[in-house]
Amino acid sequence: MAGVSSCMKYSMFIFNFLFWVCGSVILGISIWIRVSKDAKEEFGTDSSLFAGVDVLIAVGSIIMVLGFLGCCGAIRESRCMLLLFFIGLLLILILQVTGGILGAVYRSQIETSLNTTLKDDVNLLQGTEEKAKQFQETFQKFQTENKCCGLLNGAADWGSNFDTPIGGSQVCGCDPKGEEANLCTYYKGKYVYKMVCSEVINKYVQDHMLIIMGIAFGLAVIEILGLVFSMSLYCQIQRK
C-alpha cells in the first residue's frame, strides 16, 4: 500500500499553523477592541462598529479551530480531523461565494441603503443635541482632510449650523487666495469647498473595490488549495 507523502503532510501542517496564527491575531485584536476602555473612547458607542468587531471575533475563532484541526489532522494522520477541516473550509468558501453573488445582485439596494445612511447623517449635521455635536466635530475634520463640504447637497446640509464655528474653525472653510482657490465656491457670504463629501466616499469605495476583490480572490485560491491538500492527504491515509 502507498504511504503518506511527508512533503504533503508537513506542508499541510505549516499551512494550517500559519492559518491558526492568523486566526489568533484576528481574535486577539478583536477581543482587545471589544473590552478596551481606550477603544471604546475612540469608537464611541456606535453599535454598528461593535457588531463588526463581534463578527471578527467569530471569524477569528473559526479560523483558529480550522487551523487546529488541519495541524492535528496532518501530524496525527487523523482522517476524522482532516474531514472536519475539509467540511469547515468548504462551508466558508460556499458562504464567501454566496456573499459575493448576493453583493452583486443586491448592489442597487446596498447603494440605496448607503444613501439612506447619508440622509440620516445630514440630519445630524443640522442637529443641536450632544450626539450631533460629536458627529459634527468628527465630520468637520473629515471635510478639512478631504477638502469637501456636506454629504449630499454641499454646505446646505449644515442648515443653521453653517454659521456656527465647529472646533474653532469655519464650517467647510476654504482659502480662495491660496492653493485651494480652484476648490472653492461662494455660499452665504463665505468661501467653502465645492466638492460634496459623498463624491469622496464613493471614489474611496471604487478605488478600493479592486483591492477587496483581489483579497477575496486570493482567499478563495488559498481555500481551494487547502481543500485539495486536505482531501489528498485524507485519501493517502485511507489507502495506507
Residues whose CB falls within 8 Å of the CB of residue 167, separated by 6 or more in sequence, listed in order: 137, 140, 141
Our separate counts of H helices and E strands in the chain read 7, 2
Are 103 and 214 members of one domain? yes
The CA–CA distances, whole Å, from 7 to 4, 76, 92 equal 9, 15, 26
Considering the domain architecture, whether residues 14 and 102 belong to the same structural domain is answered as yes
User: Does any domain span residue 79?
Assistant: yes
pLDDT 10s digits, 112-141? 777 777 777 888 888 888 888 888 888 888
Query: How many domains, in total, are found in the chain?
Result: 2
Residues pairing with 192 in the sheet: 173, 185
Is the domain of 95 the same as that of 142? no
Phi first, then psi, for residue 63 (nearest 5°) are -65, -40
pTM of this prediction exceeds 0.85 = no
Over the stretch 161-211, which tens digit does the pLDDT of each residue have?
888 887 667 888 888 887 777 888 888 888 898 899 888 887 877 776 666
Residue 124 lies in a domain: no
Tell me, yes or no, whether 214 and 196 share the same domain: no
Do the Cβ atoms of 20 and 68 come closer than 8 Å?
A: yes
pLDDT digits (tens, 9 = 90+) for 8-18: 788 888 888 88
Does 122 reside within a domain?
no
Task: Give the range of the structural domain holding residue 182, as residue numbers without chain letter.
Answer: 129-200
User: Does 193 share its domain with 225?
Assistant: no
- Among left, alpha and beta (phi > 0; psi -120 to 50; other), residue 149 is beta
Tell me: do 33 and 86 sit in the same domain: yes
